[in-house]
Amino acid sequence: MAESSRAEQRSTRKRAEILAAASDVFTTHGYLGASMDAVAAAAGASKRTVYQYFADKEELFSSVVLDAVDRGYEFFRPHILALADVDADDLIEAFRRHSRLTIIGIMAPQVLRMRRLVMAEADRFPEIGREYYERSWVRTLDLLATTLARLDERGLLKIPDPQRAAYMFTWLVVSIPLQRTAFMGNAATYTQAELDDIADEAVRVFLAAH
């Protein structure tokens, strides 16, 4: 392997380590409570190294948020695409699998902490909030809408408005635990069985309508 290639891989790893450390620092202490010194310490790097990758705290914050968003989208993407090609006999179980995956993904502690952080800083950084919304919710639900349209074309479902149906389905799945957690924080706990039950009920209601 060429030395330049090895150096590039080391650089990529170090940037990822800094982003991971910064994510923990920002979601624990908030934007104002976070510092580049704390990020450097958490990453096991010097502050100078952190500044080699990110010009200032705002750029680092933006990168942390968008990195989390893109990883979340890539987590959901293959599952949403696979849903478009399910057989009629597997339709209900496929939706249950996707619904349970959705609620697990969105209710993951790190995802919830990032969501709270972005919402708390939306007035200070409206562009970051907009990017978070568009690259997470909008992009993922656009993909789900395309899948629902495909299922409509195949005659498996009746979806006159795939875009609206994508939003309705997602909120059927996540609205109960997400809203409770938004107001109660970590005190709002759910067992996996409770989340599965909510996810399955969302599928039952959605498929009954379509």
Q: What is the pLDDT of residue 49?
A: 93
The pLDDT assigned to 12 comes to 87
Give the single-character DSSP code of 133.
H
Amino acid residing at 147: T
CA distance 139 to 166: 11
For residue 2, the model assigns a pLDDT of: 60
Query: What is the second-level CATH architecture of the domain 1-54?
Result: Orthogonal Bundle (1.10)
- What global pTM score does this model have? 0.88
> Residue 6: what pLDDT?
75
pLDDT reported for residue 4: 65
For the chain (210 residues), the mean pLDDT of every run of 10, in chain order, is 71 91 94 94 92 94 94 92 94 96 91 92 94 93 97 96 97 93 83 94 96
Query: Which CATH number describes the domain made up of 65-209?
Result: 1.10.357.10
Per-residue model confidence (pLDDT) at position 189:
84
**Domain ranges for the chain:** 1-54, 65-209
CB atoms within 10 A of CB 200: 17
pLDDT at 201: 97
Say if residue 210 is exposed, middle or buried (CB neighbours under 10 Å; 0-12, 13-18, 19+): middle
